[in-house]
Chains A and B, each alone.
Chain A
Amino acid sequence: MTTQYFGQRIKRNEDPRLLTGGGTFVDDVTLPDLLHAAVLRSPHAHARVRRVDTAGAEALPGVVAVYTHGDLPPSLQEPLPRLIPHPALVHHKTQYALARDKVRHVGEPVAFVVAASRYVAEDALDLIEVEYDPLPAVVTLEQAVRPGAPLVHEDAGTNVCAHYTQRVGNVDEALARAAHVFTERFVIDRGTAAPMECRGVVAQWDPRLRQLVVWDSTQAPIPIRNGLARLLGLAQGGVRVIAPDIGGGFGPKIMMFYPEEVLVPYAAMQLSRPVKWIEDRRENFAAMNHEREQIHDAAIAVDRDGRILAVRTAFLYDSGAYIPYGLTVPIVASTTLPGPYKIPNYHCEFRAVFTNKTIVSPYRGAGRPHGVFVMERLMDRVAAELGIDRVELRRRNLIQPHEFPYDVGLIYQDNAPLIYDSGNYPATLEAALQKISYEHWPQERARYRAQHRHVGLGVACYVEGSGIGPYEGCRVTVEPSGKVYAATSVGTQGQGHFTSFAQIIADALTVRVEDVIVITGDSGAFGWGTGTFASRAAVVAGSAAHLAAQAVREKTLLVAATKLEARPDDLVLEHGRVSVRGAPGKSMTLAEVAVAANPLRGTIPKEWEQPGLEASRYFAPPRGTFPNGVHAAIVEVDIETGMLKILRYVVVHDCGRVINPMILDGQIRGGVAQGLGGTFYEKLVYDESGQLLTQTFMDYLLPTTMEVPEIEVDHLETPSPLNPLGVKGAGEAGVIPVPALMAQALDDALSELGIRITEMPLSPNRLLEMIREARAQAPSPHPGPLPQGEG
């Protein structure tokens, strides 16, 4: 492979369009005769729905239709599909498109209005009368598992929908004979992805073509198409789902189905008029899936030297009111926890629990931050208790470069064994330490203390599962214009696929990267695939693009060989032109070859197999590939205000071969920003009746330019052996270790006060509360601060 573009900081192909207001986001799609929809949502966390009276709404001029559960066809009166079943998930409850007899969280859709404008549709919502019988709500995890707790789903007879255990070795025995065992509880609360673009769906039904076209802000257009075809009784080919430009996804824009994703297409068909629904921000807070809430009771056993003998965690996972997405998040949490360390005995066990809150599904990190938080906090505890430098303790336990592939002994979220494919964990750690000048930290720290400044350093390690199957595909076509078109079904939400895939293809065909036009997320352009999740697009779709481009390259040489009357191995493809080695006059451009490959008359040779310069290829990895990284930061706390200032933040990351360092750094940095938000500013707050109190950006605080620091990023490149490009995923890496890292840095900064962080997210208020409490009491020796001077 010539490597002209691969690995280069190439400016993005999509930017000129996006910078000039030329993007097409779902809300930008407008059609003649368009109707607008609005959703009536439950104001109650838990209530029986006695009666819904829509007469007033229907009478309002401009209202075209009002739907309640009973108005839907039988296929939409059923609970919505289950996305990922699991044998342990015994109560796989999914929501109705519109509530039937009960609402189970604030924001659950109850009625759906279609009107001439969104303004009128919202007027109509006010005219719908709903009679509710409020029921006691289960809001917290601990409440939900208490005997006698109100049941979110009575027919399940319990709020626990799954109980799942994985084991390696014999933890009990190891705990019994270990020199030291430490146990601790860790609590992680809710947050939301808050993409800048809320969700949206536009649907158009063409009765003559019997074609349904749906623009959907989804990360997974193909599964949406397949599901819609089934629910609406159409052929898959009769449904085209387009995920156009998406204003950030981060996980929750993949669901299959959010109610609106079936209601809008259904209404468009039923009314034979296009319908648009755009989620507003307040709806987004209550109606787009949340994440992060878990409570871990964890234990670690080590020998005298701090070598890990066993780790155990038993945790509660809050699924919210339904669990359509299955057990991905808790499985990822429990399988990410071991991280880069050798843990001979491991026991993880979780109970997935229903509560009367918004549904939970993966949000960037998807359980990984939890696993890393628990593991790294345990390591810090061991370091403090045993008086071993925290970094030295980690060094002693790291998996070594010669130990790959390393079988952790667990089953990962893709149902394949959890085997780390490649990596160099000690090198990553040392690189990060060097970057943050760890060896000088004791003096630095002393200097800060002398100035009465509360400054701390943190270092956190992680391994991230990425690039899982089952497969993705790509079709590459050279058109007679010489332009190269590539279509893949993975949607793109800002990750730069229009450029990174173009780089891969441009290299294979020796064309300019801007001459490769990539189409993503349109089932009409490419109809096979699963979606953009689990940091997999570059790995799986990128590899498919590579294979397809290579196939087109071979075909190009084959066709040119016929035309130029030369042997394929005498041909060279350079700068988009095929020439015969040693015969400079004999050459053809790619465009000419494309024309020749699709003749109007005559014959095509058998070995061409098919006309045209086109190939589709699929890539199906055997299992996930595992990037790793280390983040380090220096953080200052103002103990009078609880405010935080990040003085330095460094990332050393190894995600195999790098396609475009600029895009990669953007992914990592953006992840860190979200991690910092989720650590210190963002928290979804429910009151005891299950009301979501944070439904605006005034109460749910996203980081701004004033909160986030510059982030220094370095890369190591340990190629993955599992794909032809040697790449690993990078979309989630930035977010994963941030809570663990910040906890350690805060412990360090506040060590004189004896503060130990065991909960996330924090806030300036919460931190101040902890500081005040700690100052009120004398600093307690246990659980101890990190050793002073040692860092």
Chain B
Amino acid sequence: MKKRTGVVRRTTKARVVTPRRRNPVRTDAAAPPLVTRKEITVQVNGVAQTAEVEVRMTLVDFIRERLGLTGTHVGCEHGVCGACTILLDGAPVRSCLMFAVQAAGQEIMTVEALGTPDRLHPIQEAFRDHHGLQCGFCTPGFLMTTLAFLRERPSPTADEIRVALAGHLCRCTVYQGIVEAVSDAAARLRAGTPTPAPRARGGARE
């Protein structure tokens, strides 16, 4: 649902003709010109990216489609599932709820900057060891929230982990492996397990 129109259309008893609605983007000449495109620069995984975007483009679409960083997933586009979570200036945010233009001048980190298949980040390693993923669709979101959470709380209890992750949906697992993984990841990070340097992967530029 790219366009945010009414959610439920009700029936009426009478014969209904769906009214012709005007495309809001195209306006008559009399009105002041709408800004529909804008150039933005964002730091993405350590790489500066400048692009002209439609102002209505969501941040997640920008990351996935324009930058080709498809590790960030879209599960609901209404801010509930958490699959699209990225770090914006270090804080986890839902990139489906923001427009790309709102991220101008800020720093984005996506899952692509974490580890590599050959050298997983300790959080990723812990997810693997504890079977914290099945289909893997929700996983990047969980990883990004976990990364920020463990920076703030290096020694969380299981209950605190559950609260921290309550804004993420996973349909495959029962979260048990995820909670164990986060707790184990915290221990690994406390023990000073070396973490791979964040990868400079800004994705493809147009």
- Chain A residues proximal to chain B, CB less than 8 Å: 11-12, 14-25, 27-28, 30, 43-45, 56, 60, 118-119, 122-123, 126-134, 193-198, 245-248, 250, 278, 280-283, 493-496, 662-663, 665-667, 669-670, 672-674, 689-693, 695-698, 702, 704-706, 708, 710-711
Contact = CB atoms under 8 A, between A and B. Distances in A.
Interface string B1-28: 1110101111111011110110101000
Nearest to B15: A133
Contact of A126 (B21, B81, B143): B21
A512 to B, nearest CB: 16
Nearest to B158: A710
A290 B24 CA distance: 34
Contacts of B129: 11
By secondary structure, the B interface counts as loop
Nearest to B135: A494
A20 B117 contact: yes
A20 B124 CA distance: 8
A564 to B, nearest CB: 36
21 contacts: A19-B114, A20-B117, A20-B120, A21-B69, A21-B114, A28-B70, A43-B18, A45-B11, A119-B2, A119-B56, A194-B171, A195-B135, A196-B75, A196-B172, A245-B137, A248-B134, A496-B134, A666-B173, A674-B171, A704-B165, A708-B174
Contacts, number: 242
Interface string B160-201: 011101111111111111110000000000000000000000
A11 to B, nearest CB: 6
B73 A697 contact: no
B185 to A, nearest CB: 12
A134 B80 CA distance: 33
A30 B65 contact: yes
B128 A15 contact: yes
A674 B169 CA distance: 12
A282 B169 contact: no
B120 A706 contact: no
A206 B149 CA distance: 47
B35 to A, nearest CB: 16
A231 B179 CA distance: 47
Given A196-B170, A280-B77, A704-B166, A19 B11 contact: no
B174 A670 contact: yes
B111 interface: yes
Given A127-B23, A194-B171, A670-B171, 12 more contacts: A11-B129, A19-B117, A128-B18, A196-B75, A197-B135, A247-B137, A281-B78, A663-B131, A666-B131, A673-B173, A697-B78, A710-B176
Contacts of B71: 20-23
Given A16-B117, A134-B11, A711-B174, A21 B72 contact: yes
B78 A696 contact: yes
Contacts of B62: none
Contact of A495 (B17, B112, B134): B134
A246 B134 CA distance: 10
A695 B12 contact: no
Contact of A21 (B9, B74, B111): B111
Contact of B12 (A134, A246, A698): A134
B181 to A, nearest CB: 10
B117 A245 contact: no
Given A15-B127, A708-B174, A30 B20 contact: no
A697 B169 contact: yes
Given A129-B17, A130-B18, A705-B162, A20 B76 contact: no
Contacts of B50: none
Contacts of B78: 281, 696-698
A132 B15 contact: yes
Given A122-B3, A697-B78, A197 B166 contact: no
Given A119-B2, A691-B11, A669 B120 contact: no
A45 B11 CA distance: 9
Interface in B57-94: 57, 64-65, 68-78, 80-81, 83
Interface residues of B, number: 79
A66 B138 CA distance: 33
Given A19-B143, A21-B70, A60-B23, A245 B135 contact: yes
B137 A20 contact: no
Contact of A20 (B114, B169, B176, B178): B114
B73 A25 contact: yes
Contact of B128 (A12, A22, A23, A245): A12
Contacts of A15: 127-128, 133, 136
A132 B16 contact: yes
B34 to A, nearest CB: 14
B110 interface: yes
A19 B17 CA distance: 48
Contacts of B95: none
B116 interface: yes
Which of B78, B112, B114, B167 has the most chain A CB atoms closer than 10 A to its own CB?
A: B78
Given A18-B136, A19-B127, A493-B135, A706 B80 contact: no
3 nearest A-B residue pairs (beta carbon)? A21-B71, A247-B137, A494-B135
Contact of B75 (A23, A123, A197, A693): A197
B140 interface: yes
A164 to B, nearest CB: 32
Nearest to A130: B18
Contacts of A11: 128-129
Contacts of B118: 16
A702 B175 CA distance: 12
A248 B177 contact: no
Nearest to A247: B137
A489 B19 CA distance: 47
A23 B136 contact: yes
B54 interface: yes
Contacts of A193: 171
A27 B75 CA distance: 11
Contacts of B21: 126-127
A698 B162 CA distance: 19
A129 B115 contact: no
Contacts of B54: 119
